[in-house]
C-alpha cells in the first residue's frame, strides 16, 4: 500500500514538473527568459531523478536496462542550476559566457560515462545482474557531488541572505531549503547504503521524495507569486495603480482667480525646490493636497500652476522626476546588483505598470532596455534631466 501511494505521488510530481517546465519555457517576458530556462532545466532534472526512483520502487530497472546509472551525473548539474536560477531571479545579473563553466563537471562526467551509456541493453542488464554492490567510482562521484553541493549551498545562502525580506526571496529561500535538506538526506542515505546497511527506503526513493516536495513547493509558489517577479530587498506590496486625476471639488470663490505673475514665479521656484532639493516625488503616495499644503497653496492653484507651466497634470509631472531619478540609479555602478523594481520604488513609483509606461513615454525604452544596452541612447534622447518649469 505504501509503495503504491509513493508511486502515485512520484508520478504526479513528474507530471507537475513537466507542466511547470513547459509553462516557464513558454513565458514571453524577454527579461526573465534566462531565469525561466534555468528553473525549467532544474525541474526537468528533478523529473529525471524522480522517474529513475519510480522505476526502482516498481522494480523495473531490469525491464528498462538503459536506466542503469542514467542519472549518475545529474547531481553535478543540479547545484549550479539552483545557484544560477537564484542569482538570476533575485538580481538583474544575466548569464555570461563564463557561467557555462558551472556545467563543466557535468559535461566531463557525462563524457566519461559515455562508454557505459553506449553499451547495449543486454550488456547493461548483465552488468546490473552481476554487480549487486555499487562500483567504487560511484562512491567517488558521490563525494565529488557532495563537495560541489556544499559549495553551491554556501553560494546560494549568501545570495538569499543579501536578498532577505522580499516576497519572492522568502519563497525561493524555502524552495532552496527543501532542495538542500532533501539532497543532504539522500546523500546520507547513500553513504549508509554504501556500507551495506539496509534502510526502509532507498537513497533514490528518499531523494525522489525530496525532489517531489521541491516540485510541489515550486507549483505552490507559482500560484501565490508570479515566478517572473524579482525582489532583492524588503519591498512593500504594490499599491493600486493611480487612476486619472480626480476632478477638483467645488473651490471657494478665490480659487478661480489666476495667480499673479510674481506669485506664479515664486510658487514655481518653491515647487522646483521641493522636487530637486527635498525630492518629495520619492513619496509614492504623495497627493495633490499634500503637496499643495507644503507650498502653502490651494490644490486648485497648484494644479493650475503645473498645468500652465509644464502642460501636464500632477502625476505626469512627478513621474518625470521619478524617471530621471531612476535613470541615474540604473547607471550608478553601486546599484548594479539592485533590481529595477527596488530602484523604482525608491524613486516613488508604486506600480510596475505605471513605471514601464512612464519610462517608455519619456525615454522610448523600457527600464531593462535602458540598463542593458540603451542607456547611452536614452541619455542622448533626453539630455535635459529636469522637467521644464
- Same domain for 259 and 184? no
Residue 248 domain-assigned? no
Distance CA 207, CA 3 (A): 15
The confidence score (pLDDT) of residue 120 equals 92
Residue 298 domain-assigned? yes
**3-state SS track over 294-329:** HCCCCHHHHHHHHHHHHCCCHHHHHHHHHHHHHHHH
Number of domains in the chain: 2
Cell matching residue 64: 528498462
Distance CA 232, CA 345 (A): 12
Main-chain dihedrals φ then ψ at residue 135, nearest 5 degrees: -65, 160
Buried b (16+ CB within 10 A) or exposed e, 10-32: beebbebbeebbeebeebeeebb
- Same domain for 52 and 176? yes
Nearest to 281 by CA among 319, 243, 307, 332: 319
Run means of pLDDT, 10 residues per run, the chain, 389 residues:
79 88 77 78 86 85 86 83 80 78 90 90 85 63 76 78 56 67 64 60 68 69 49 42 53 52 83 89 88 87 87 90 90 84 87 85 87 58 48
Residue 236 domain-assigned? no
Distance CA 338, CA 373 (A): 17
Nearest to 213 by CA among 75, 5, 54, 12: 12
- Same domain for 161 and 269? no
- Same domain for 14 and 111? yes
Residue 244 domain-assigned? no
Main-chain dihedrals φ then ψ at residue 171, nearest 5 degrees: -65, -45
We report the CATH number of the domain holding residue 267 as: 1.10.10.60
First-to-final CA distance of the chain:
77
Which pLDDT tens digit goes with each residue over 196-236?
A: 656 666 666 666 677 677 667 776 665 554 444 444 333 34
**Cβ neighbours for 274, distance < 8 A, ≥ 6 positions apart:** 280, 291, 294, 295
Residues comprising the chain, all counted: 389
We report the CATH number of the domain holding residue 105 as: 1.20.1070.10
DSSP run (H or E) holding 7: helix 2-26
- Same domain for 97 and 205? yes
What is the domain extent for residue 357?
253-381
Nearest to 83 by CA among 183, 209, 189, 166: 183
The confidence score (pLDDT) of residue 284 equals 84
- Same domain for 287 and 166? no
User: Which residue's C-alpha cell is 510541489?
Assistant: 216
- Same domain for 281 and 348? yes
CB–CB of 241/354 below 8 Å?
A: yes
Residue 234 domain-assigned? no
Distance CA 220, CA 262 (A): 61
Q: What does the DSSP 8-state code read for residue 318?
A: H
Residue 369 domain-assigned? yes
Residue 130 domain-assigned? yes
- Same domain for 295 and 211? no
CA distances (Å), origin 197, targets 2, 131, 201: 21, 17, 11
- Same domain for 34 and 180? yes
Amino acid at each position: 500500500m505504501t509503495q503504491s501511494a509513493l508511486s502515485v505521488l512520484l508520478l504526479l510530481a513528474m507530471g507537475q514538473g513537466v507542466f511547470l517546465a513547459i509553462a516557464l519555457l513558454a513565458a514571453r517576458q524577454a527579461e526573465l527568459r534566462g531565469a525561466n530556462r534555468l528553473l525549467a532545466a532544474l525541474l526537468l532534472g528533478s523529473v529525471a531523478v524522480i522517474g529513475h526512483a519510480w522505476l526502482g520502487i516498481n522494480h523495473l530497472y531490469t525491464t528498462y536496462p538503459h536506466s542503469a546509472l542514467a542519472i549518475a551525473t545529474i547531481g553535478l548539474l543540479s547545484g549550479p542550476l539552483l545557484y544560477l536560477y537564484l542569482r538570476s531571479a533575485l538580481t538583474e545579473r544575466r548569464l555570461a559566457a563564463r557561467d557555462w563553466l558551472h556545467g563543466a563537471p557535468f559535461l566531463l562526467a557525462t563524457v566519461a560515462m559515455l562508454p557505459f551509456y553506449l553499451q547495449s541493453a543486454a550488456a547493461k542488464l548483465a552488468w546490473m545482474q552481476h554487480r549487486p554492490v555499487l562500483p567504487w567510482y560511484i562512491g567517488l562521484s558521490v563525494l565529488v557531488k557532495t563537495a560541489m553541493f556544499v559549495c553551491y549551498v554556501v553560494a546560494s545562502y549568501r545570495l538569499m541572505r543579501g536578498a532577505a525580506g522580499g516576497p519572492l526571496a522568502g519563497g525561493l529561500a524555502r524552495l532552496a531549503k527543501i532542495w538542500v535538506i532533501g539532497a543532504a538526506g539522500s546523500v546520507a542515505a547513500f553513504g549508509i547504503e554504501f556500507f551495506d546497511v539496509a534502510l526502509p527506503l532507498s537513497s533514490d526513493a528518499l531523494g525522489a521524495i525530496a525532489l517531489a516536495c521541491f516540485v510541489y513547493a515550486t507549483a505552490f509558489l507559482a500560484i501565490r507569486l508570479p515566478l517572473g517577479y524579482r525582489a532583492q530587498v524588503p519591498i512593500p506590496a504594490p499599491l493600486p495603480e493611480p487612476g486619472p486625476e480626480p476632478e477638483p471639488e467645488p473651490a471657494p470663490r478665490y480659487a478661480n482667480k489666476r495667480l499673479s505673475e510674481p506669485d506664479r514665479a515664486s510658487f514655481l521656484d518653491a515647487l522646483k525646490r521641493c522636487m530637486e532639493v527635498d525630492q518629495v516625488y520619492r513619496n509614492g503616495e504623495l497627493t495633490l493636497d499634500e503637496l499643495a499644503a507644503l507650498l502653502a497653496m490651494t490644490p486648485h492653484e497648484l494644479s493650475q500652476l503645473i498645468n500652465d507651466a509644464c502642460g501636464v497634470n500632477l502625476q505626469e509631472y512627478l513621474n518625470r522626476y521619478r524617471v530621471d531619478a531612476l535613470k541615474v540609479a540604473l547607471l550608478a555602478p553601486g546599484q548594479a546588483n539592485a533590481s529595477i523594481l527596488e530602484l523604482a520604488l525608491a524613486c516613488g513609483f508604486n506600480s510596475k505598470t505605471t513605471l514601464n509606461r512612464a519610462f517608455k513615454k519619456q525615454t522610448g525604452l523600457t527600464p531593462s532596455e535602458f540598463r542593458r544596452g540603451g542607456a547611452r541612447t536614452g541619455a542622448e534622447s533626453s539630455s535635459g534631466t529636469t522637467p521644464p518649469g
